[in-house]
């Protein structure tokens, strides 16, 4: 090899390395941006609900190819695709319950339309769908919480008496009425959003949110005594000692029954202290 | 630019404008009618084909899936169900037959945008390449999309992919996706000649790899007739693919354009006034047979 060609070779190598480094840097920066954008975009806004059978959000982003076939097969135009620049991951399906809720079709056409399995094909009963969870999020404005009988959310629920029940509570304000408290049960609620759609308030008091947001979780070691007692058939704390009330003479307490029971005590005509006797008479009157 | 030095001017003069734009027009018809078939649904309620280029359902039975999206999904950690995989295999087989980047020149909607940008670039008389990219840049970006997919467990590229974005936008609602399309248009006009399709787009890289062994090919079979007018180089979106075939630079003296980067757009066939180029299969390595036959018929 001549000196000049060696020099040319060196230049080429240098050129090659610098070109490669330039490209690698540029593309890596682009990739970093893309990765960060995808991470940021993958946080679903709280009121965007995925279609029935959608995989968990982190899996969904890898499984959904953004073809929109579920949107096309939804007979109620419930589903929409996230748009570039919007809050929902670009091209992925969602719905806003307050706009158009899921009508819970029995044949679940959206799941059937999905070619990739992002909507789980094993979902064959729409009642098993867990799109989100309804939560009566604002007790201050909910009419039933004011003692009124609105309960539209309860009436419209496709799984009435399973997903939403009305729980009776004493209305202390009126003293003689009941509150009919709409109560959502997470073991039955599909998150279809019909309750949120139907709420008569200008801003719904009951809202459907992704289950992760709406649902709390009790610690695994928690045990509820009365449930454990029922399961075991007896108290787990032995022996089950009857509670002793430390009461004045002649007074008894019936827990869960009559309450405080005062026995009629023969009044001592003239006790050691006349004032005490007088007070006792006054109290009995 | 005067019409006489425009690439293909000789061809237009000799064979007429229509003949000199035959394949270009066919491509436009192909690109627009595929989009049109998709649009029939939302616009007219005729659901001949549903979905978009990522995955579609034709006549309620034929599922077609973009194999590149499927590959990204695989890297992101999801194994698709058989419907999508079958759809991707059909698409794969089709492009291995007709040429991978036939997707780019006959289907992709961005091709219309970048062709328009290139046309405007010529009209504005912007000379040269502009911003240069290493030939390998596209491959880097392609690899990057797969790496980002596997790191974020998300088909991240589809968040910004202008190809699927344009289709999805037209069919389902654009959002601000038109900004990306506009950015690519302006990039190709002012920054880099054919910058997007020829250098950066990873979709093109994928289909190029797919098409590197594809059956349908453009051949410079009649290269002896070449008069070095350079028109084919001017119109070709990937001019580097022509040279080895036209100038007999390969070891086996093969007249086939062998690079997977060739999009089979056939603009070279359109503009060549010497009938150098034609479509053939990769198994046909005959050189100048056209000529010889013609000479036999008309001695």
For residue B74, the distance in angstroms to the closest alpha carbon of chain A comes to 8
pLDDT block averages, 10 residues each, chain A of length 285: 49 81 86 83 82 90 91 93 86 93 94 92 92 93 93 94 93 88 94 95 94 89 88 76 80 80 65 70 70
CA angle B55/B59/B60 to nearest 5° reads 70
Structure tokens at B159: 């968040």
Note whether residue B283 is domain-resident: yes
Domain of residue B247 covers 215-297
Asked if the Cβ–Cβ distance from B152 to A42 is below 8 Å, we say yes
A24 CB near a chain B CB, below 8 Å? Answer: yes
Examine the domain organization and report whether B201 and B229 are in the same domain.
Answer: no
**pLDDT value of residue B299:** 46
Dump pLDDT digits (tens) for B46-94.
889 998 899 999 988 899 999 999 999 999 988 888 888 999 999 999 9
B93-145 per-position pLDDT tens digit? 999 999 889 999 999 999 999 999 999 998 888 888 888 887 788 899 999 99
Model ipTM value: 0.84
> Residue B79's closest chain A neighbor by CA?
A63
* B182 found inside a domain: yes
Task: Tell me: pLDDT of B3 over 70.
Answer: no
Residue A90 and residue B159: Cβ atoms within 8 Å? yes
* Per-residue pLDDT at A240: 64
CB of B51 within 8 Å of a chain A CB? The answer is yes
How close does chain A come to B184, measured CA to CA in Å? 15
Residue that the structure tokens 């069919």 belong to:
B171
Write the pLDDT tens digit of every residue in B207-262: 999 888 889 989 888 888 888 888 888 888 888 888 888 877 777 777 888 888 89
Measured between CB atoms, does B43 come within 8 Å of chain A? no
Q: How far apart are CA B293 and CA B159, in angstroms?
A: 53
- Evaluate whether residue B226 is within a structural domain: yes
User: Residue B180: inside a domain, yes or no?
Assistant: yes
**Chosen domain end from B178, B210, B242:** B210
Q: How confident is the model at residue B1 (pLDDT cuts 50, 70, 90)?
A: very low
User: Which of A91, A118, A120 should one mutate to test binding to chain B, selecting the residue with the greatest count of B CBs within 10 A?
Assistant: A91
Residue B25 lies in a domain: no
Instruction: List, in order, residues 6 or more apart from A214 with CB less than 8 Å away.
Output: A132, A133, A134, A135, A186, A208
Closest residue to B176, CB basis, from A28, A30, A85:
A85
Determine the Cα–Cα distance for residues B267 and B277; give it in Å rounded to an integer: 10
CA distance A72 to chain B (A): 7
Predicted confidence at residue A269, as pLDDT, reads 58
A265: which 2 tokens?
């005590």
Q: pTM for this structure?
A: 0.81
Give the per-residue pLDDT at B128.
81
Size of interface A-B (CB pairs under 8 A): 171
**CB within 8 Å: A27 and B83:** no
Test B159 with A116 for CB contact under 8 angstroms: no
Q: Which of B49, B155, B203, B205 is most worth mutating to test chain A (most A CB atoms within 10 A of its CB)?
A: B155
State how far the Cα of B143 lies from the Cα of B131, in Å rounded to an integer. 22
Domain assignment present for B41: no
B195 and B275 belong to one structural domain: no
Nearest to A199 by CA among A49, A124, A79, A97: A97
Q: Which residue has the tokens 């709280």?
A: A46
Query: Within 13 A of A248's CA, how many CA atoms are on the CB side?
Result: 5
Coil, strand or helix at B279: strand
Contacts A121 to B, Cβ<8 Å:
81
Q: In this structure, what DSSP letter does residue B192 have?
A: B
Residues B274 and B187 placed together within one structural domain of the fold = no
N-to-C CA span, chain A: 127
Q: Is the peptide bond before A17 cis (omega within 30 degrees of 0)?
A: no
- A31 and B147 within 8 Å at the Cβ level: the answer is yes
* Chain A residues inside the 8 Å CB shell of B155: 61-62, 64-66
Token pair, residue B179, equals 């900004």
Mapping DSSP to helix (H, G, I), strand (E, B) and coil, where does residue A208 land? strand
With beta carbons under 8 A apart, name residues in chain B contacting A92: none
Of B210, B236, B254, which one is at a domain's C-terminal end?
B210
Residues B159 and B266 in one domain: no
Report how far residue B208's alpha carbon sits from residue B263's, in angstroms, rounded to the nearest whole number. 8
Q: Are residues B202 and B124 in the same domain?
A: yes
Q: Would you give the end-to-end CA distance of chain B in angstroms?
A: 41
Same domain, B124 and B189: yes
Whether residues B73 and B204 share a domain: the answer is yes
Give the domain-ending residue among B146, B178, B210. B210
The torsion angles phi and psi of A73, rounded to 5 degrees, stand at: -90, 0
- Per-window interface: A 83-112 vs B, CB < 8 A: 83-86, 89-91
Give yes or no for A43 touching B (CB within 8 A): no
Q: How far is CA B142 from CA B66, B207, B247, in A?
A: 15, 11, 31
A35 interfaces chain B, CB cutoff of 8 Å: yes
Contact between A111 and A119 under an 8 Å Cβ cutoff? The reply is yes
Asked whether residue B203 falls in the same domain as residue B222, the answer is no
Angle, to 10 degrees, between the axis of helix B82-98 and the axis of helix B67-75?
Answer: 130
Q: Which residue of B has its CA nearest to A86?
A: B175
Residue B43 lies in a domain: no
Give the CA distances from residue B36 to residues B39, B103, B107, in Å, rounded to whole numbers and listed in that order: 5, 16, 12
Closest B-chain CA to A19? B134
Tally the domains of chain B.
2
Q: Which of A62, A83, A90 should one mutate to test binding to chain B, selecting the residue with the greatest count of B CBs within 10 A?
A: A62
Q: Judge if B188 and B73 occupy the same domain.
A: yes
Looking at residue A266, its pLDDT comes to 60
How many Å lie between the alpha carbon of B51 and the closest alpha carbon of chain A? 5
Report yes or no: A57 at the B interface, CB cutoff 8 Å: no
Is the same domain home to B74 and B147? yes
Whether the Cβ atoms of residue A167 and residue A184 lie closer than 8 Å to each other: no
Nearest CA in chain A to B142: A27
Residue matched to tokens 């799984």: A159
DSSP string, chain B: --GGGSTTHHHHHHH-HHHHTHHHHHHHHHHHHHHHHHHHHHHHS--SEEE-SSEEEETTTEEEE-HHHHHHHHHTT-PPPHHHHHHHHHHHHHHHHH-TTHIIIII-THHHHHHHHHHHHHHTT--S-BS---TTHHHHHHHHHHHHHHHHTS-GGGGT-HHHHHHHHHHH--TTTHHHHHHHHHIIIIIBTTHIIIII-HHHHHHHHHGGG-SEEEE-TTGGG-----HHHHH-SSGGGHHHHHTT-STT---B---TT-----HHHHH-TT---EEEETT---SSHHHHHHHHH--
Q: Are residues B237 and B179 in the same domain?
A: no
Q: Both B127 and B180 in a single domain? A: yes
Cβ contacts of B41 on chain A, cutoff 8 Å:
72
In the predicted model, is pLDDT for residue B2 greater than 50? Answer: no
Q: Is B170 on the interface with A (CB under 8 A)?
A: no
Within a domain: B4: no
Note whether A197 and A158 are within 8 A (CB).
Answer: no
Dist. CA A109–CA A73, nearest whole Å: 6
């Amino acid at each position: 090899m001549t000196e000049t060609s060696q020099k040319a070779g060196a230049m080429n190598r240098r050129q090659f390395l610098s070109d490669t480094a330039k490209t690698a840097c540029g593309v890596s920066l682009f990739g970093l941006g893309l990765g960060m954008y995808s991470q940021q975009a993958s946080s679903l806004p709280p009121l965007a609900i995925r279609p029935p059978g959608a995989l968990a959000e982190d899996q969904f982003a890898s499984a959904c190819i953004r073809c929109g076939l579920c949107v096309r097969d939804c007979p109620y135009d419930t589903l929409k695709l996230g748009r570039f620049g919007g809050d929902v991951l670009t091209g992925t399906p969602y719905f806003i319950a307050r706009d158009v809720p899921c009508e819970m079709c029995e044949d679940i056409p959206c799941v059937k339309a999905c070619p990739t399995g992002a909507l789980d094909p094993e979902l064959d009963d729409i009642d098993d769908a867990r799109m989100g969870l309804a939560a009566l999020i604002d007790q201050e404005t909910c009419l039933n919480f004011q003692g009124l009988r609105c309960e539209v959310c309860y009436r419209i629920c496709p799984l009435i008496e399973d997903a939403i029940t009305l729980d009776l509570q004493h209305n202390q304000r009126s003293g003689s009425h009941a509150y009919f408290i709409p109560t959502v049960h997470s073991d039955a609620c599909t998150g279809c959003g019909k309750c949120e759609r139907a709420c008569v308030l200008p801003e719904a008091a009951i809202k459907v949110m992704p289950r992760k947001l709406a649902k709390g979780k009790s610690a695994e070691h928690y045990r509820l005594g009365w449930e454990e007692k029922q399961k075991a058939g007896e108290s787990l704390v032995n022996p089950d000692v009857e509670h002793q009330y430390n009461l004045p003479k002649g007074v008894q307490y019936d827990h869960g029954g009559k309450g405080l029971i005062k026995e009629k005590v023969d009044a001592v005509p003239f006790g050691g202290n006349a004032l005490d006797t007088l007070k006792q008479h006054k109290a009995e009157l | 630019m005067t019409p006489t030095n425009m690439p293909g001017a000789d061809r237009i003069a000799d064979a007429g404008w229509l003949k000199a734009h035959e394949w270009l027009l066919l491509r436009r018809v192909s690109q627009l009618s595929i989009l049109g078939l998709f649009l029939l649904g939302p616009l007219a309620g005729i659901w001949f084909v549903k979905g978009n280029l990522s995955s579609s359902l034709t006549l309620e039975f034929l599922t077609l899936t973009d194999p590149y999206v499927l590959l990204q999904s695989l890297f992101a950690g999801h194994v698709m169900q058989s419907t999508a995989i079958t759809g991707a295999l059909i698409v794969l087989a089709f492009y291995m037959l007709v040429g991978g980047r036939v997707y780019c020149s006959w289907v992709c909607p961005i091709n219309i945008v970048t062709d328009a940008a290139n046309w405007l670039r010529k009209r504005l008389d912007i000379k040269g390449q502009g911003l240069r990219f290493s030939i390998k840049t596209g491959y880097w970006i392609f690899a990057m999309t797969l790496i980002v997919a596997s790191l974020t467990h998300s088909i991240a590229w589809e968040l910004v992919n202008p190809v699927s974005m344009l289709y999805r936008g037209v069919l389902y609602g654009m959002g601000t996706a038109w900004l990306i399309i506009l950015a690519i248009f302006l990039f190709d006009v002012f920054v880099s000649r054919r910058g997007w399709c020829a250098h950066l787009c990873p979709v093109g890289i994928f289909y190029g790899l797919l098409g590197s062994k594809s059956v349908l090919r453009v051949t410079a079979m009649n290269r002896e007739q070449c008069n070095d007018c350079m028109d084919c180089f001017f119109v070709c979106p990937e001019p580097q693919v022509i040279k080895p075939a036209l100038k007999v630079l390969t070891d086996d003296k093969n007249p086939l354009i062998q690079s997977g980067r060739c999009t089979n757009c056939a603009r070279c066939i359109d503009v060549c006034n010497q009938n150098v180029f034609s479509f053939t299969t990769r198994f046909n390595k005959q050189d100048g047979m056209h000529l010889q036959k013609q000479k036999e018929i008309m001695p």
